[in-house]
Each structure stands twice: as structure tokens, then as C-alpha cells.
Amino acid sequence: MGKVKVPNWLVHLGLVAGSVVFAIGVSEVGLRVANIPPQPGSQAEPETVEEAKPTQPYAAIATEPETAQEAKPTQPYAAIATEPETAQEPNPTQPQSAIATEPETVLEGPSPDEPTPNFFRIDENLGWALEPNVSGWWQAEGVAYVEINSDGLRDREYPKQKPDDTIRIAILGDSFAEALQVDADETFWAIMERNLANCPSFKGRKVEAINFGVTNYGTAQQLLMLRQKVWDYDPDIVLLAVFTGNDIADNSRELDNRNRPYFVYQDGELVADMSFRTPDKTIPPYGLSRIEDMFPDWLTRHSRILQLAKKVELGNRNRQLEEHRQYIYSKLYREPDDPAWVNAWNVTEGLMTLMHEEVTEKGSDFMVVTLTNEVQVNPNREFRRGFRGENNIEGDLFYPDRRIKALGDRVGFPVLNLVQDMQAYAQENQVCLHGFDNALPCGGHWNAEGHRLAGQLIAPAVCPLLESRE
């Protein structure tokens, strides 16, 4: 038999393919030897976050004097409820570092080369949601072992049927409620739950605070979460935790365009805009990079080349998000002066009103808590002054909190503003309530101290709602 002649083009293709495979293999080995990108738990120096730092110290910027009202707490610290003695929760008038606490069981930290799991999935009604039954170490900001329960909640397991003699509080919110940055028992909703044992009307009843928070949810998604999942658990109280730093903008496609549901006004009524179900392919799926969207999960977890590409993509995205965040903050603390912001506020207030109506119709109580932005509670008064001066903000930084409180007064639901008490506490004790050493010190999400203080401030405000349900 004669020899089979292989076409030249096929030979060349084989040589090219072999060269590519060889180059990829060498690159993978080289990146692993050099530990690039740095793997979780390695000794590589953490990446410096530069994009959120001001270009000059705010203290150097000339501004008008800060209003004295800005640092006044709304209630004396002595009035803040603390946990029962058995829990030994620290008094909120002292920095956490100065208080002795009982020893806790500490999980071993993440091992080298342990990848961070993908906690998110695409959801056809909400845009994205937490992936049920996923657990692992979160290290992007803070370090915590995170467990998502079987119903896709960052919380422990709960039966759908409420036990007798139990008061259930549903927590709706975004990443501040989801709180991947701290252990579950350090979150504000866990602290609040334990502190509610001090309510005079408790009388042996059990309180369950169930967390429905998901990163970057706006009020529109929180309303849909209420309808889609919360009522299955028969809550007595629905607590909406509002992070004004992005929740208002999140309700506007013009201000924050993502593949998510929005609500729009049509003929005076709020109507759900679900056009995200035909997604804009230029916008990455939430919580995923384009690399993760294009390649199998097992491959992106183990390929250093894909990990490096993902790191570059996320770095670019983070810089864009930081620029967007600075724009949002420059507009947030004043009466809106352009149509996009006027509409965003109108939609946000309409959604809160609609949520209040739906909760009341179900026979439950509705409450709003406005959380804090890092600049509002920065312990450095000069930093806050400088921020106001740089962004031409007159007065203090409490506009969004006061506006939501005024809405609650008009419509008839209680609103707790945390910002005054938390700013006064941070300034008095010179502690940062936001931020982590491995991310942005004094910026970003609440650290354990921020959660602790928030939980202890929220509990006494919830007590009257418990008493009303006797």
C-alpha cells in the first residue's frame, strides 16, 4: 500500500497547534512558579487599591466650617440597647479593640491555591441571585467563611413554616446586608437578633432575623425579592436596609445600566421593566467576568492564564466603577438638579411606598433603616470637610437620609437614620466603621465594628414593632 500523503496545510496546522499548546503549558508553569496572579493565602504582597484615594489630602482643601449638627447623635449612647449578659456583646460606646470578649471557635483560614467560589448565578426574574448551597472563603474585602443556604440566602437554614412563639424579621438589602466581608454572627442582623432579647415584651418568644440581602440589589430587585421569596417565610416585620451610596442610582437605568429589572412610571403607575431578559451582551453577567462567561468553571479555576486575564478585566472594571462611584457621590448629597436624578429619586420613593403598601396588606410591619456611606462616618472631620468642599456640597452629608425619613413621615412607616449616631461614634473614638486592611482601609463595606454598632442601634428601634404585635 502506498503512503498516505498529508496535505501541507494540515502539517502546518498541527505545528501551529502544537506550538500554541507548548507555549500555553510553559506559560502556565511559569505563572505558577512566579505565583502570578497571587493566589489566596499566599505570601504575595496584596494589591494596593489606589483608585479610591483622593488626589490630595482633603484636609488641604479650603472649605466652609462643618456644621455642628453633623456630629450630634440622635440619642445618647447610654440609651443604646446591649445584648444580654450571656452573649457578652460589647458596649457600643467603646471601640471594639478595648473590650474583652469570650473566646470563639475560629475556622482555619483559607489554604494556598484555594479559589474563591462563585457565589452568584443568573436569575430570570431578579437579574442575579446567590447560588444555593455554595460555601467557601471570601477574601476580596475582609476574610470570612461564607455559606449560602439551600434557598439561596446568606444565612442559616430556616423552615418555611414559622415555629410557634416566633417573631420573624425579613431583612431586605444589598451587599451591606449580604455582608460577605464578615462572619455571619458578626453581621448587623445577627447582632440585632441577639439584642432583641432585651425587649421588655420579648416574654420568651424567639426572634429570627432572616437575611435576603444580595450584592448590588436596588430597591426594584428588593421589591421583587419580597414578592418572589420573602412571603414564603411568613415574616412579621420587613426591614428594608437602604444603602444610599448606590440604591437610588441602582433604580435608574440611565444612572446605572445593568442586566437587571427596573421599574418605570407609566400613566402614573410603577411598572416593571423586564427587558434585561434579552440581555445586553456588552454588560458582563453580575458577579462574573467575561472570562468566566466564556470558559468552563473548572478551567477558569485552574488556569493561571485565564486567572490573569480575569484579574486584568476586573481591575479595569473596578476602575470604571470607582469613577462611577465618585460621580454618584458628587450628586447624592444635594437636591437633584438634573432629570435623571429627579427620576431616580421619584422611582425610589415610589418603590418604598409600594413596598410599604404590600407589606401592610399582608398584616406585617414595614420599617426602613438608612445605612452609612464611608465618607459620612469617616472619623476625620477634615476629610469630611474636604469632600464637601471638593464636591461643592453645602451643609452636611445627610441629605439622602433626611429625604427618606421625610418620606416615611409622609407615608406612615418608621425610618431609622443611622448616620448621625455612627458618625459621632466614629469621630469620638477615632475608629473606622468601614474598610479592611486587605482592601480599602476606612472605605468600602462595614467592618465588624460597623456591623456591631449598627446592630445595637437598630435593635431598640425594632422593639416597638415587636411590642405592637403582642
Q: What are the Cα distances from residue 286, in Å, to 126, 343, 347? A: 11, 24, 22
- The pLDDT tens digits of the residues spanning 190-220 come to 999 999 988 887 677 899 999 999 999 999 9
Which of 325, 315, 297 is CA-nearest to residue 140? 315
Query: Is it the case that residue 60 has pLDDT exceeding 50?
Result: no
More confident residue, 237 or 118: 237
- Cα–Cα distance between 355 and 48 in angstroms, integer? 41
Q: Tell me, what's the pLDDT at 301?
A: 61
| Predicted confidence band of residue 331 (pLDDT cuts 50, 70, 90) | confident
Of the listed ranges 34-38, 249-253, 333-337, the least confidently predicted one is 34-38
Q: Tell me, what's the pLDDT at 201?
A: 73
- The pLDDT tens digits of the residues spanning 63-109 come to 334 444 445 555 443 334 444 333 333 344 444 433 334 444 556 77
Q: What is the mean pLDDT of residues 159-178?
A: 96
More confident residue, 355 or 11: 355
Q: Tell me, what's the pLDDT at 345?
A: 97
In 3-state terms the chain splits into helix, strand, coil percentages (rounded to 5) of 40, 10, 45
Q: What is the mean pLDDT of residues 423-447?
A: 95
C-beta neighbour count of 52 within 10 angstroms: 16
pLDDT winner (highest mean) among 23-32, 55-64, 110-119, 179-188: 179-188
Helix (H, G, I), strand (E, B) or coil at 388: helix
Q: Tell me, what's the pLDDT at 261?
A: 95
Q: Tell me, what's the pLDDT at 76?
A: 40
Name beta bridge partners: 272: 263
What one-letter code names the amino acid at 466? L
Q: Tell me, what's the pLDDT at 278?
A: 85
| Predicted confidence band of residue 49 (pLDDT cuts 50, 70, 90) | very low
More confident residue, 462 or 27: 462
Q: What is the mean pLDDT of residues 363-377?
A: 97
- Cα–Cα distance between 366 and 249 in angstroms, integer? 23
Q: Quick check: 302 and 327 in contact, CB under 8 A?
A: no
Which of 98, 15, 7, 47 is CA-nearest to residue 440? 47
Query: Is it the case that residue 110 has pLDDT exceeding 60?
Result: yes
Q: What is the mean pLDDT of residues 445-459?
A: 98
- Cα–Cα distance between 136 and 231 in angstroms, integer? 28
| Predicted confidence band of residue 27 (pLDDT cuts 50, 70, 90) | low
| Predicted confidence band of residue 26 (pLDDT cuts 50, 70, 90) | low
CA 331 to chain centre: 20
- The pLDDT tens digits of the residues spanning 289-312 come to 555 556 666 566 656 666 666 666
Q: Tell me, what's the pLDDT at 466?
A: 75
- Cα–Cα distance between 242 and 213 in angstroms, integer? 11
Q: How far apart are the first and last CA of the chain?
A: 96
Q: Tell me, what's the pLDDT at 199?
A: 87
Query: Is it the case that residue 245 has pLDDT exceeding 90?
Result: yes
More confident residue, 291 or 439: 439
Half-sphere exposure for 99 (CA within 13 Å, toward CB):
13
Of the listed ranges 30-44, 135-149, 229-243, the least confidently predicted one is 30-44
| Percent of the chain whose predicted confidence (pLDDT) is above 90 | 55
What is the 3-state secondary structure of the chain? CCCCCCCHHHHHHHHHHHHHHHHHHHHHHHHHHCCCCCCCCCCCCCCCCCCCCCCCCHHHCCCCCCCHHHHCCCCCHHHCCCCCHHHCCCCCCCCHHHCCCCCCCCCCCCCCCCCCCCCEEEECCCEEEECCCCEEEECCCCCEEEECCCCCCCCCCCCCCCCCCEEEEEEECCHHHHCCCCCHHHCHHHHHHHHHHHCCCCCCCEEEEEECCCCCCCHHHHHHHHHHCHHHHCCCEEEEEECCCCHHHHCCCCCCCCCCCEEEEECCEEEEECHHHCCCCCCCCCCCCHHHHHCCHHHHHHCHHHHHHHHHHHHHHHHHHHHHHHHHHHHHCCCCCCHHHHHHHHHHHHHHHHHHHHHHHCCCEEEEEECCCCCCCCCCHHHHHHHHHHCCCCCCCCHHHHHHHHHHHHHCCCEEECHHHHHHHHHHHCCCCECCCCCCCCCCCECHHHHHHHHHHHHHHHHHHHHCCC
Q: Tell me, what's the pLDDT at 143?
A: 93
Q: Quick check: 114 and 38 in contact, CB under 8 A?
A: no
Q: Tell me, what's the pLDDT at 413?
A: 97
Helix (H, G, I), strand (E, B) or coil at 354: helix
- Cα–Cα distance between 257 and 328 in angstroms, integer? 13
Chain mean pLDDT for the chain: 80
Q: Tell me, what's the pLDDT at 467?
A: 73
Q: Tell me, what's the pLDDT at 310?
A: 63
Q: What is the mean pLDDT of residues 222-227?
A: 98
* pTM assigned to the model: 0.77
- The pLDDT tens digits of the residues spanning 389-422 come to 998 898 899 999 999 999 999 999 999 999 999 9
| Predicted confidence band of residue 4 (pLDDT cuts 50, 70, 90) | low
**Crossing angle of helices 304-332/8-33, nearest 10°?**
60
Q: What is the mean pLDDT of residues 273-280?
A: 85
Q: Tell me, what's the pLDDT at 262?
A: 97
